[in-house]
A and B are shown apart, each in its own frame.
Chain A
Amino acid sequence: MTNLIILPILIPLFTGVVLIFLNKRITGQRVVAIFSSIGTMIAAGVIVQKVRTDGIQSLNVSSWDAPFGITLVSDMFSALLVLITSIIAFACLIYSFKSIGQEREKYYYYAVFNFLLVGVNGAFTTGDIFNLFVFFEVMLMSSYVLLVLGGTKIQLRESIKYLLVNVISSALFVVAVAYLYSVVGTLNMAHISSRINEISVNGMPGILTVIAVLFLIVFGLKGAIFPLYFWMPGSYYAPPAPVLTLFGALLTKVGVYSITRTYTLFFYHDMDAFGILTILAILSIVFGVIGAIAYWDIKNIIIYNIIIAVGVILYGVSVLNTASLTGAVYYLIHDMLIKAALFLLVGIVITITGTSNLRNISGLITRYPGLGWTFFIAALALAGIPPLSGFVGKLLIVQGGFEGESFIGGFITLMSSLLVLFSVMKIFINGFWGKDRTYGGEEKAPVKQLLIAPAILVAISALYGIGSEFILPYISQAADTLLNPKLYIDAVLKE
């Protein structure tokens, strides 16, 4: 099956098209969506195994040879991200069944949901820089629709801001691609890398540093790093819980993936750009922490935790040694899982209480012990308490930071865990302990059914932490490709 790696793009695309015709039949939509979601998961799992045994998979679309046609490349890094994406999509889907409401379901919710997955999986798999732009647009266009679907005032207002920021960053992406094309004359990522390597024998030309920083601005806007995260708290506040989960777990991580890919593949000669990346990553951690401890709103606390995680991962990437890159990949996957779980749990709390203000919530544990303890485990995993999944990643990142003699960054990463733990424990202690209260939405909320999806995610993330010995070979294979761009280039250009 040479066409295997295109399946995670093709299955959701085909499903999305079919779902357009089923828009009034909600049960039909659900059945089709769940089957395609399971299919995507299986395909993604098979790809991970295939990459594990046979090395990097690449597919030349329409059999045009590598630098001339569009190439899809699945190395271990992208294969793992595609697998995690499909797992999160599955969880969001079964959560949506119980929470999204018939009005949204009739207006193409599941179709757009699938198109979002096309964009995300495509962005992870593509090996062509302009094709990456197109998949970004597929993903963003679907995210605009998901954000505004329902049309309440806050959604309209925040969609305008989100759309404007992303239109600007897309235009900058086009500009960055145009500059890069004028310097290297190719769009295939492996070919770009080898050409940059050829012209960098006596040090990287200045123009490439400029392009590297331009790419950092473009992907930083998508991935919410320090000075460019201003749009995120407002925009992510607006949509309903399952949409917020998709955004929080997937969209910013595509930006992080793109920074990692372009910096490790194209600009690995360029220590100036890496210096800027280190500083911005550390500042993202600091400002994210400030936001996370400042708010008394449960959505905002978790949203600011995204910025912290983005900072931690990019700090791991910017140090660029074996330990830190392994840690960054490990932490990226952990963070996608646990952020998805936390957003779904927060969604349940809001469904029960009807508010996201922490001062109006207390004593949930007496009536909802399952919810409470799931949240507790997720919170500990987020902070990186040893048996759970956040630990190994952060340990490796800190170890890599100290090995790379970047002591301030390593120290800040370590300290940030404490304040992350404080911010989520604030939710647990104030929201779940204390005086028992009654809430308006309590009767309607099917808490048990809603809890299935986040419980699955928390269980997977706990297994991911406990079974790190078993997972680590996969992660190191991913980090190995990032550290040796030659492997990627050889797999694509096949001399």
Chain B
Amino acid sequence: MEILMAFVIGILFMSATYLMLSKSLLRIIIGTGLLSHGAHLLILTMGGLKRGSAPLLGEHAEHYTDPLPQALILTAIVISFGVTAFFLVLAYRSYQELGTDNVEDMKGTEPND
């Protein structure tokens, strides 16, 4: 199971890298979304995918799945939500101000503009 997940995560990382190297800003943001999906799936996989009950004590099971990676993912998900929302608004704002979403046109370090 872990092997399969490793391939899935690898493909997610691959697509994310490809998208983030493209010119359009929206494709880059989609790339960051895929990258965080990959990272979150990786935490889940690395915590182990052994069979066990959901981590609820009311289940009275013999084995539970590891609750720690799930807490980590939950934290990482909300953080990446916040950052992605900020990034999208930033992209929207710079589309209004700079009039382009092509990152090739966002060059230059002309002082004080």
Chain A residues in the interface with B (C-beta under 8 A): 130, 133-134, 137, 141, 144-145, 148, 151-154, 156-157, 159-161, 163-164, 167-168, 170-172, 174-175, 177-179, 181-182, 187, 233-234, 237, 297, 354-357
Give the Cβ gap from A170 to chain B, nearest Cβ, in Å: 8
Report B69-113 CB contacts with A as 1/0, cut-off 8 Å.
100100110011011001100110110011000010010011111
Give the Cβ gap from B82 to chain A, nearest Cβ, in Å: 7
Asked if A156 and B94 sit within 8 Å, CB to CB, the answer is yes
Closest to B96 in A: A156
Q: Measured between alpha carbons, how far is A156 from B109 in the docked complex, in Å?
A: 12
Q: Measured between alpha carbons, how far is A237 from B108 in the docked complex, in Å?
A: 11
Known: A171-B36, A178-B43, A355-B112. A156 touches B97 (CB 8 A): yes
Q: Measured between alpha carbons, how far is A234 from B103 in the docked complex, in Å?
A: 14
Additional 19 contacts, C-beta under 8 A, given A153-B113, A160-B91, A170-B80: A133-B76, A137-B79, A141-B82, A148-B90, A152-B113, A163-B83, A163-B87, A168-B20, A170-B83, A171-B32, A172-B39, A174-B39, A174-B43, A175-B39, A178-B45, A178-B46, A178-B69, A233-B109, A356-B111
Asked if B106 and A160 sit within 8 Å, CB to CB, the answer is yes
Chain A residues with CB below 8 A from B28, complex form: 164
Give the Cβ gap from B16 to chain A, nearest Cβ, in Å: 8
Interface residues of B in 37-76 (CB under 8 A from A): 38-40, 42-43, 45-48, 68-69, 72, 75-76
Closest to A144 in B: B86
Chain B residues with CB below 8 A from A237, complex form: 109, 111
10 contacts between A and B (CB under 8 A): A134-B75, A137-B83, A141-B82, A154-B112, A160-B103, A164-B87, A170-B83, A171-B35, A174-B40, A182-B46
Asked if A163 and B86 sit within 8 Å, CB to CB, the answer is yes
- Of B20, B38, B109, chain A has the most CB atoms within 10 Å of the CB of B109
Asked if A171 and B20 sit within 8 Å, CB to CB, the answer is no
Closest to B48 in A: A182
Closest to A187 in B: B68
Chain B residues with CB below 8 A from A141, complex form: 82-83, 86
Asked if B90 and A174 sit within 8 Å, CB to CB, the answer is no
Closest to A131 in B: B75
Chain B residues with CB below 8 A from A145, complex form: 86
Asked if A168 and B32 sit within 8 Å, CB to CB, the answer is yes
Chain A residues with CB below 8 A from B43, complex form: 174, 177-178, 181
Q: Measured between alpha carbons, how far is A308 from B107 in the docked complex, in Å?
A: 25
Asked if A157 and B83 sit within 8 Å, CB to CB, the answer is no
Chain B residues with CB below 8 A from A172, complex form: 39
Chain B residues with CB below 8 A from A157, complex form: 94, 98, 106
Chain B residues with CB below 8 A from A355, complex form: 111-112
Q: Measured between alpha carbons, how far is A31 from B87 in the docked complex, in Å?
A: 32
Q: Measured between alpha carbons, how far is A194 from B87 in the docked complex, in Å?
A: 39
Q: Measured between alpha carbons, how far is A148 from B80 in the docked complex, in Å?
A: 19
Chain A residues with CB below 8 A from B76, complex form: 133, 174
Give the Cβ gap from A163 to chain B, nearest Cβ, in Å: 6
Q: Measured between alpha carbons, how far is A344 from B72 in the docked complex, in Å?
A: 39
